[in-house]
Amino acid sequence: MRCYDADERVESMSWDDAVASSIVNEYKHLAGATLPILHALQENFGYVDKRAVPLIADALNMSKAEIFGAITFYHDFRHEPAGQTVVKLCRAEACQSMGCESLVAHLKDAHGVEINATTPDGRLTVETVFCLGNCALGPAALINGELVGRVDEDLLDAVCKGQSHDRMAG
Amino acid sequence: MSTSIKIYVPRDAAALSVGANRVATAIAHEAKKRGQTVEIIRNGSRGMLWLEPLVEVETTKGRVAFGPVTPKDVASLFEANFLTGGAHPLNLGLTEEIPFFKNQERLTFVRVGVIDPLSVDDYIAHSGFAGLKKAVKMTGAAIVQEVADSGLRGRGGAGFPTGIKWKTVLGAEADQKYIVCNADEGDSGTFADRMLMEGDPFTLIEGMAIAGVAVGATKGFIYLRSEYPHAYQTLQEAIRTARAARWLGPAIGGSSYAFDLEVRLGAGAYICGEETSLLESLEGKRAIVRAKPPLPALKGLFGKPTIVNNVMSLATIPWIMANGAKAYADFGMGRSRGTLPIQLAGNIKQGGLIEKAFGVSLREIIETYGGGTHSGRSFRAVQVGGPLGAYFPESLLDTPMDYEAMAAKKGLLGHGGMVVFDDTVDLAQQARFAFEFCAKESCGKCTPCRIGATRGVETMDKVIAGDASKLALIDDLCHLMTDASLCAMGGLTPVPVMSAMTHFPDDFNRASKRMTPENLAAE
- pLDDT tens series, chain B, 523 aa: 457 899 999 999 999 999 999 999 999 999 999 999 999 999 999 999 999 999 999 999 999 999 999 999 999 999 999 999 999 999 999 999 999 999 999 999 999 999 999 999 999 999 999 999 999 999 999 999 999 999 999 999 899 999 999 999 999 999 999 999 999 999 999 999 999 999 999 999 999 999 999 999 999 999 999 999 999 999 999 999 999 999 999 999 999 999 999 999 999 999 999 999 999 999 999 999 999 999 999 999 999 999 999 999 999 999 999 999 999 999 999 999 999 999 999 999 999 999 999 999 999 999 999 999 999 999 999 999 999 999 999 999 999 999 999 999 999 999 999 999 999 999 999 999 999 999 999 999 999 999 999 999 999 999 999 999 999 999 999 999 999 999 999 999 999 999 999 999 999 987 566 555 565 565 5
Q: Is B419's Cβ below 8 Å from some Cβ in A?
A: yes
Q: Which residues of A touch B186 (CB under 8 A)?
A: 130-131
Contact: B267, A76; criterion CB under 8 Å: yes
What is the domain-level CATH number for residue B64?
3.40.30.10
Q: Which of B422, B445, B477 is the last residue of a domain?
A: B422
- The residue count for chain B: 523
Fold of A85-160: Glutaredoxin (3.40.30)
B287 touches chain A (CB under 8 A): yes
C-alpha to C-alpha distance for B185 and B415, rounded to whole angstroms: 9
Give the span between the Cα atoms of B285 and B39, in whole angstroms.
46
Q: Is the Cβ–Cβ distance between B510 and B498 less than 8 Å?
A: no
CA dihedral of B478, B484, B486, B487, whole degrees rounded to 10: 40
Q: Say how far apart CA B156 and CA B370 lie, in whole Å.
A: 23
CATH number at residue B432: 1.20.1440.230
Chain A: nearest CA to B352, how far in angstroms? Answer: 6
**B435 within a domain of the structure (yes/no):** yes
Alpha-carbon gap, residue B430 to B189, rounded angstroms:
15
Same domain, yes or no, for B219 and B343? no
Among candidates A70, A142, A146 on the partner chain, residue whose Cβ is nearest the Cβ of B284: A70
- In chain A, CATH 3.40.30.10 covers 85-160
Backbone angles phi, psi at B499, to 5 degrees: -65, -40
Q: Which residues contact B10 (CB under 8 A, 6 or more apart)?
A: B16, B20, B42, B43, B44, B45, B46, B52, B53, B54, B113, B199
Q: What is the pLDDT of residues A147-166, one digit of tens each?
A: 999 999 999 999 999 888 77
**Cα–Cα distance measured from residue B377 to residue A148, given in angstroms and rounded to the nearest whole number:** 25
The answer to whether B374 faces chain A, any CB pair under 8 Å, is: yes
Q: Is B350 part of any domain?
A: yes
Task: Say if residue B41 is in the same domain as residue B84.
Answer: yes
Residues B147 and B290 in one domain: yes
Determine whether the interchain pair A95/B188 forms a contact, defined as Cβ–Cβ distance below 8 Å. Answer: yes
B316 and B237 belong to one structural domain: yes
- The answer for residues whose C-beta is within 8 angstroms of residue B454's C-beta and 6 or more apart is B435, B439
CB spacing of A135 vs B191 below 8 angstroms? yes
Whether A147 sits inside 8 A of B16 (CB atoms) is: yes
Distances, alpha carbon A25 to alpha carbons A22, A32, A34, A76, in Å? 5, 14, 12, 22
User: In terms of C-beta density within 10 A (0-12 exposed, 13-18 middle, 19 or more buried), how is residue B306 classed?
Assistant: buried
B233 interface with A at CB cutoff 8 Å: no
User: Do A133 and B270 count as a contact with CB atoms less than 8 A apart?
Assistant: no
β-pairing, A85-90 vs A141-143, is antiparallel
**Does the pLDDT value for residue A11 go beyond 70?**
no
pLDDT at A163: 85
Same domain, B168 and B284: yes
> Where would I find the H helices in chain A?
6-13, 17-27, 34-45, 52-60, 64-73, 93-96, 100-111, 153-160
Angstrom CA distances, B189 to A99, B192, B360, B361, B422, stand at 15, 10, 18, 18, 15
DSSP state of B95: G
d(CA A77, CA A168): 32
Pick the residue from chain B with its C-alpha nearest to A56.
B284
Contacts of A48 in chain B (CB under 8 A): none
CB atoms within 10 A of CB A145: 9
Question: Does the ipTM exceed 0.90?
Answer: yes
Q: Is A40 on the interface with B (CB under 8 A)?
A: no
Q: What is the pLDDT of residue A1?
A: 29
Mapping DSSP to helix (H, G, I), strand (E, B) and coil, where does residue B182 land?
strand
CA–CA distances in Å: residue A77 to residues B182, B221, B274, B514: 21, 22, 20, 42
Residue B104, domain member (yes or no): no
Chain B: residue nearest A96 by CA? Answer: B346
Percent of chain A residues topping a pLDDT of 70: 90
- pLDDT score of B3: 73
Q: Report the alpha-carbon distance of residue A23 to residue B267 in Å, rounded.
A: 18
Judged by a CB distance cut-off of 8 A, whether residue A156 touches chain B is no
Q: How many CB atoms lie within 10 A of CB A147?
A: 25
Q: Tell me the chain A residues in contact with residue B14 when contact means C-beta distances shorter than 8 Å.
A: 133-134, 136-137, 147, 149
Which of B185, B285, B377 is the best mutation test for A, with the most CBs of A within 10 A?
B285
| Nearest-neighbour CA in chain A from B120: distance (Å) | 26
Distance from CA of A3 to the nearest CA of B (A): 22
Q: Which of residues B39, B67, B98 is at a domain's end?
A: B98
Could you tell me which of B234, B19, B246, B245 has the C-alpha nearest to residue B116? B234
One domain, residues B394 and B412: yes
From residue B424, alpha-carbon distances to A104, B86, B373, B503 in Å are 17, 42, 11, 16
Is B464 part of any domain? yes
Residues A62-121 have pLDDT tens digits of: 999 999 999 999 999 999 999 999 999 999 999 999 999 999 999 999 999 999 999 999
H or E stretch at B39:
strand B38-41
CB pairs under 8 A between A and B: 163
| A16–chain B Cβ distance below 8 A for any pair | no
DSSP strand pairing (B55-59 vs B62-66): antiparallel
Separation between Cα atoms, residue A6 and residue A47, nearest integer Å: 18
Is A135 an 8 Å CB contact of chain B? yes
pLDDT of A167 > 90? The answer is no
3-class SS string, B337-402: ECEEEEEEEECCCCCEEEEEECCCEHHHHHHHHCCCCCCCCCEEEEEECHHHCCEECHHHCCCECC
Q: At what angle do helices A64-73 and A34-45 cross, to 10 degrees?
A: 70
Same structural domain for residues B75 and B194?
no
Instruction: Verify that B370 and B508 share a domain, yes or no.
Output: no
Residue B33 belongs to some domain of the structure? yes
Q: Is residue B109 one of the residues assigned to a domain?
A: no
Task: Check if A63 contacts B (Cβ < 8 Å).
Answer: no
Strands of the B260-265 sheet, one edge to the other: B260-265, B219-224, B178-183, B306-310
How many domains is chain B partitioned into structurally?
4
Chain B contact probe: residue of A97, A129, A150 with most B CBs at under 10 A: A97
Provide DSSP, B243-309. HHTTSSBTTGGGSS--BEEEEEE--S-GGGGSHHHHHHHHTTS--PPPPSSSPTTTS-GGGS-EEEE
CB contact (8 A) between residue A93 and residue B189: yes
Which residue in chain A is spatially nearest to B198 when comparing CA positions?
Answer: A133
Residue B38 included in any domain: yes
Q: Which of B11, B17, B223 to mutate to test the interface with A (most CBs of A within 10 A)?
A: B17
Neighbouring residues of B286: CB distance < 8 A, sequence distance ≥ 6: A66, A69, A70, A73, B280, B443
* Structural domain contains residue B106: no
User: Do B139 and B276 belong to one domain?
Assistant: yes
Are B249 and B218 within one domain? yes
- Are A134 and B421 in contact (CB < 8 Å)? no
Classify the C-alpha dihedral B292-B298-B304-B308 as positive or negative: positive
Q: How do B178-183 and B219-224 pair as beta strands?
A: parallel
Task: Please confirm whether the linkage preceding B305 is cis (ω < 30° from 0).
Answer: no
Closest CA to B423 of B470, B382, B471, B479: B382
Does B434 contact chain A (CB < 8 Å)? Answer: no
In a shared domain, residues B324 and B345: no
- Any chain B CB within 8 A of the CB of A7? no
Cβ of residue A98 closer than 8 Å to a chain B Cβ: yes
Shared domain check, B158 and B307: yes
Distances (CA, A) of B383 to B319, B336, B343, B415, B434: 30, 20, 12, 12, 11
Domain range enclosing B495: 427-522
